Structure 1
């Protein structure tokens, strides 16, 4: 097992400056993590740097679905859909503990005219069921044998049994189809740990400040450790820009006019009480919005996620859910629910930016822009991977490293197609033993399930901690499944450097807790101080930084200032 502690991070920083690398990946989101893993799996000597924490941007702000995208069928974007379905199948095989197939309930109402983004309507909505049936049949065929289950038509009564919170008025029938769900941040961390296990040198909080140029070509990158200010020069034969919405900014560091053209698209999600939505294990599809989108209500631990929007961007470093975003989501949620929800029901709000490729058409909205990706080779020698989506990260990485292999006139191989991610090998057999061991140690069923779904076979390491210290098996938050052993594990094995890293990305407590982790941050920081050898002043500074970050998010999110006082947050 490859540890990724603060000590390892410092050693990695030293190695970055003293070794020459074949590939330097800039960006520690899911795409950069995928590139690092693909490159190291092909035998390259790989380094990866991330300016903040791993998965701190878009890669922890998605709807957390792994899917082909049924909404792209009406626009006949079959290549994108099939690519997503193929990649979904690969992920289900390579990370079975982390990616799960789930049912999606798609209700059809009498008033719907453009469900799932249909570009046309029929008189009185007659025949829409047949059109959707044909579309979902196409979806099944494109998925092939990797699908596992085929869609089926649901009666009105079956829809209500599966999704009792939906309103009955106007409900005609529905469909059940199948796609995937994952924890996006943990997928990213798992990819990075797998890459490190294969020899990649990775560091977070390491920002590229400039490039060393020679005859117009990129030869090395100057980086700064944002935690202590240390400057390092990293030499690499290939430098890959996998920074998502920041790709243009990174390219301009070469001093050459940027080729990358990104159209950031803001996606906002609401986290809601699962019980209020009477949500089972299925995802509910809200089939139609005025702008011909669809929304998902997805189960997430003890909560539910509603999303998403698709609008223009503001400050790229600080995506904000404004009042209009929240109102939009509540409007369409309440359009289909029997019980109306208000802002008081919102546990948290989060926003992120999709790095979409800019269209040549000035009239396209971000919702109309394709989710395809592109690998760009710049005159400076820099390689940028742009566009795409969470589901297709592996294919994006593969296409990127293919470019490097061809540059080197090396054999083009695709090892990640059949590479289990860390925690996956032997999971099917290990799962039962993990459940039995967790039960003996006194963990609840939901905590055992959570540990398995988050860490796979690596969960046994957390049980080792609990076996030595039973207090580490206690819950961090009473109604959530997270245990204190995860704080220790995050510090020792996942390069968590701050309480926010632990509470927002190694776990999802910031999203799921009504108090956003503020009630436990002092204890979390105290435990981290032992692991990281912080002084009392450093520990207090970490607590204050966390409180400042969370309070800042609450203030920025429209409508939360008044609610803070009522919640004693």
Structure 2
């Protein structure tokens, strides 16, 4: 597999400064990576830059679901739901190791008037279960032949068997429906490696600070290397702004009034223990909230993800979970479950901003805004893609590149509809080989399962590292499946440049560990130092920077 190390990054920066590309993509989240892959698969020469680390924004802050968006059915947003369900099926086909079907338990209580955030109701709630049944049949139907499994109507007893900590008082019946689950960051990293295989030249910590113009038309972007400090210009025929909630900021750098209007909406999640929730493999949809939100409890890795809120914006670069956000989520958790959890039971929290497309009329709640994406061309030639959701990243990229094809008078082709992502080839066979390889090395079944689910067939490269140095099979944290070899792999093949890149994105240690990685950051930095040739002082500074930022985040949660 192609190297994506710190040395490769330095080489890429040189190439970015000295080559004229067909396409420059600004933004290294899932949408930007999707565009880079689609463009390179269509035969374009592609550059991509990201001001922080890949997937450091919204693309690491989702509910980790690949779903149609059942909450949009009651809003009659059928086109969005259908699009997302089709994309869910394509992702399951093209990256089977990254997507797992999960059953959702949807309980129905006496007196519920707005289950799943329904914006309307019936007199005294009569017939709502029938409406939900019809809606779920539509949900299944819109997925077509790629549907994961059909929903079913279940009894009160079956609801409590699948979700034993649900409050039984007033519980009438329920439904089971199916959606997909993924690791959002691992998906972004997989897109990065697939795009690189097709020739895309990428760099993280490379920030666009301005643009070059010829007349009124953009010809390049001025970029600052946020690690080395140097500044250079990337020249490209087409420039694509895929920066999500920062779309307006980037568009403003052209000197024009931004055409795009983005309403950032903060989503907060709590990470909890499976034992505390007493949850199995099924997710739970909590009943109605006063503001008609839909709240999910989703088993994920060794933990449970619970969320999400839908509140206004703050510092877009540093989203934090406030005391109010946490109190809101705990209120509904303790209302509908028989367990009683407090802030002390929270393992971690995380917050991110959704780039919702803003309506022209003011004063609407962000919970009501559509997740439909928009591709907009500015007079300078800048193309902006924003809105959408994790599940529809591929379609967003396809629509963006269709516009570029039309600009170039080229008939659009859609290669990513059936393009296996890196690590997916012959997955059932590869899965058995990973199991055998891991067993030979003495790895636990938990670690083997984790490596296969995170890296696909590339897990064999991690095991090859262990064969060269058996100490690399040691776990970084005793109750989590992450091993030292993953640090080396991330430095060599995923352009990890700082300890935070490993602890927050290449792995999910910051979410799953009660210390949020502070107890293992020195060891991670030591392993990275050998790969990136850090001096001792640089290693210490990066370690302390990580600890300080985590401590600041914890303090912010108390406000």
TM, length-normalised to structure 2 = 0.99
**Alignment match, 1:400:** 400
Give the Cα separation in 1 of the matches to 2:16 and 2:361: 42
Give the Cα separation in 1 of the matches to 2:34 and 2:287: 32
Give the Cα separation in 2 of the matches to 1:356 and 1:493: 33
**Alignment match, 2:113:** 113
**Alignment match, 2:223:** 223
Give 1:126 deviation, angstroms.
2.8
Matched, 1:165 2:178: no
Written as runs of structure 1 = structure 2, the 5 A alignment for 1:329-348 is: 329-348=329-348
**Alignment match, 1:35:** 35
Matched, 1:5 2:5: yes
Give the Cα separation in 1 of the matches to 2:440 and 2:155: 43
- Farther-moved stretch of structure 1 (550-559 vs 27-36): 550-559
- Farther-moved stretch of structure 1 (422-431 vs 43-52): 422-431
* Maintained 8 Å contact 1:301/1:480: no
Structure 1: gaps (5+ residues): 560-569
Aligned with 2:405: secondary structure? helix
- Farther-moved stretch of structure 1 (63-72 vs 427-436): 427-436
Matched, 1:532 2:538: no
**Alignment match, 2:241:** 241
**Alignment match, 2:207:** 207
Q: What is the RMSD of the two structures over their aligned residues, measured on CA atoms?
A: 0.9
**Alignment match, 1:104:** 104
* Maintained 8 Å contact 2:148/2:179: no
**Alignment match, 1:80:** 80
Give 1:446 deviation, angstroms.
1.2
Give 1:119 deviation, angstroms.
2.5
Aligned with 1:284: secondary structure? strand
* Maintained 8 Å contact 1:372/1:388: yes
**Alignment match, 1:26:** 26
Give the Cα separation in 2 of the matches to 1:509 and 1:261: 35
* Maintained 8 Å contact 1:98/1:183: yes
Matched, 1:277 2:277: yes
Give the Cα separation in 2 of the matches to 1:373 and 1:510: 30
Give 1:170 deviation, angstroms.
1.0
Give the Cα separation in 2 of the matches to 1:127 and 1:105: 19
**Alignment match, 2:448:** 448
Matched, 1:370 2:389: no
* Maintained 8 Å contact 2:63/2:308: yes
Aligned with 1:331: secondary structure? helix
**Alignment match, 1:429:** 429
Give the Cα separation in 2 of the matches to 1:445 and 1:434: 11
Give the Cα separation in 2 of the matches to 1:404 and 1:178: 36
**Alignment match, 1:155:** 155
- Farther-moved stretch of structure 1 (26-35 vs 283-292): 283-292
**Alignment match, 1:387:** 387
* Maintained 8 Å contact 1:28/1:55: yes
Give the Cα separation in 2 of the matches to 1:460 and 1:19: 34
Aligned with 2:412: secondary structure? coil
Aligned with 1:400: secondary structure? helix
Give the Cα separation in 1 of the matches to 2:256 and 2:406: 24
Give 1:186 deviation, angstroms.
0.8
- Farther-moved stretch of structure 1 (209-218 vs 116-125): 116-125
Aligned with 2:477: secondary structure? coil
Aligned with 1:145: secondary structure? helix
Write the deviation string for residues 158-187 of structure 1: whole angstroms up to 9, x where unpaired: 111111111111111111111001000110
Aligned with 1:270: secondary structure? strand
Give 1:123 deviation, angstroms.
4.0
**Alignment match, 1:290:** 290
Give the Cα separation in 1 of the matches to 2:423 and 2:254: 39
Structure 2: gaps (5+ residues): none
Give the Cα separation in 2 of the matches to 1:160 and 1:435: 35
**Alignment match, 1:563:** none
**Alignment match, 1:304:** 304
Give the Cα separation in 2 of the matches to 1:172 and 1:216: 64
Aligned with 1:496: secondary structure? coil
**Alignment match, 2:58:** 58
Write the deviation string for residues 385-428 of structure 1: whole angstroms up to 9, x where unpaired: 01111000000000001110100001200000000000001111
Write the deviation string for residues 185-240 of structure 1: whole angstroms up to 9, x where unpaired: 11011101100011000000000011011211111111010001011110000000
Give the Cα separation in 2 of the matches to 1:417 and 1:181: 19
Matched, 1:557 2:550: no
**Alignment match, 1:359:** 359
- Farther-moved stretch of structure 1 (274-283 vs 194-203): 274-283
Aligned with 2:177: secondary structure? strand
Aligned with 1:211: secondary structure? strand
Aligned with 2:291: secondary structure? coil
* Maintained 8 Å contact 1:152/1:175: yes
Give 1:111 deviation, angstroms.
2.8
Give the Cα separation in 1 of the matches to 2:222 and 2:333: 48
Write the deviation string for residues 442-477 of structure 1: whole angstroms up to 9, x where unpaired: 111111111010000000001111122222111111
Q: Tell me the number of residue pairs that the alignment of Structure 1 and Structure 2 aligns.
A: 559
* Maintained 8 Å contact 1:266/1:354: yes
**Alignment match, 1:417:** 417
Written as runs of structure 1 = structure 2, the 5 A alignment for 1:136-151 is: 136-151=136-151
Aligned with 1:76: secondary structure? coil
Give the Cα separation in 2 of the matches to 1:312 and 1:371: 16
**Alignment match, 1:567:** none
Give the Cα separation in 2 of the matches to 1:482 and 1:124: 51
* Maintained 8 Å contact 1:462/1:485: yes
Write the deviation string for residues 510-558 of structure 1: whole angstroms up to 9, x where unpaired: 0110001110111110110000011111111111111122112111112
TM, length-normalised to structure 1 = 0.97
Aligned with 2:106: secondary structure? strand
Give the Cα separation in 1 of the matches to 2:70 and 2:317: 30
Give the Cα separation in 2 of the matches to 1:364 and 1:291: 13
Give the Cα separation in 2 of the matches to 1:18 and 1:12: 10
**Alignment match, 1:463:** 463
Aligned with 1:228: secondary structure? coil
